[in-house]
Amino acid sequence: MRPLTEEETKAVFSKLANYVGKNLVHLIDRADAPHCFRLHRDRVFYVSESLMRLAVSVARPNLVSLGTCLGKFSKTGKFRLHITALDVLGQYAKHKVWIKPNGEMPFLYGNHVAKAHLGRITEDTPEHQGVVVYSMNDTALGFGVTARSTLDTRKLDPMAIVVFHQADVGEYLRDEDTLF
């Protein structure tokens, strides 16, 4: 476990900023308890400082996880968000997409969101914007990237992809072995 270097911090922040935008400041500068970002076995954890100090005393091979896992660095140094980051993203997301009940299962199986399944979308969402996907009863299901801006989606045919799938809560089952 170690703090992130500057490049790593940049990679993590720019990825997070895709979804939460300016709200990223609230992640860093928290009112309740100070939180920090820590790297352990290529995974980035968002963890409260007190917990981090406790985890220091756990030997590296024995430490499985701490705090919230945001994602991992690939071998080429790119940062990938994991579904475990959904709690953090969902709390501060700027742009959101709600999908109809009949579209939930296809999304949870890892498919993109088609226009026919789109229930609601935040107004003025630009193209290629990170969005958090919710079901109609406001349960966060995952996140993705918009294929078209809000206005352009109106012209699309029902089967066209609106949101590219990135992660969904179904991964807790599908990628159980590799996720943690």
Partner 1 sequence: MRPTMDVSELLQAGASKQKSIQVEKEIPLDIDIGYLAATDPNPIDEEEYKNNREEYLQSVARDNAQLLINHLFSLPIESSQDGPLAKLPPPTTTLPRAKPLPKPKPPTKWEKFAAAKGIQKKRTEKKIWDEEKQEFRDRWGRGGKNKELEEQWLVEVPANAPADFDPVKEARDAKKKRVAKNAAQQTKNIQRAERSNASASLPQEREKRKTELERDLAQTRISTASMGKFDKKFQGEPKLRGVKRKFDPNEKSADSEKASALAILSKLDTSRPSKRARAEGGDDVLNVRKAIRHESRTGGLSGERTGGRPGKDGKGRGGKRK
Q: Which residues would be at the binding site for partner 1 (CB under 8 A)?
A: 1-3, 5-6, 9-10, 13-14, 17, 21-22, 24-25, 28-29, 34, 36-38, 49, 52-53, 56, 123-124, 126-129, 149, 151, 154-155
Q: How far is the CB of 152 from partner 1 (least distance, A)?
A: 9
**Cβ burial, residue 169 (10 Å; 0-12/13-18/19+):** middle
Q: Identify which of residues 111 and 122 has a Cβ nearer to partner 1 in the complex.
A: 122
Helix, strand or coil, per DSSP, at residue 75: coil
C-beta of residue 168 within 8 angstroms of C-beta of residue 107: yes
Give me the least distance between CB of 18 and partner 1, in Å please. 9
Question: With contact defined as beta carbons under 8 Å apart, do 116 and 159 qualify?
Answer: yes
Cβ at position 67, least distance to partner 1 in Å: 14
With contact defined as beta carbons under 8 Å apart, do 152 and 129 qualify? Answer: no
Q: How far is the CB of 101 from partner 1 (least distance, A)?
A: 26
User: Least distance to partner 1 from the beta carbon of 84, Å?
Assistant: 20
Nearer to partner 1, 1 or 161 (CB): 1
Neighbours of 156 (CB within 10 A): 16
- The DSSP letter of residue 127 is T
Kindly tell me which of 155 and 173 has the beta carbon lying closer to partner 1.
155
By beta-carbon proximity to partner 1, the closer residue of 9 and 135 is 9
User: How open is the CA angle 51-57-62, to the nearest 5 degrees?
Assistant: 95
Is residue 115 within 8 Å of 138, Cβ to Cβ?
no
User: Is 24 or 116 the residue whose CB approaches partner 1 more closely?
Assistant: 24
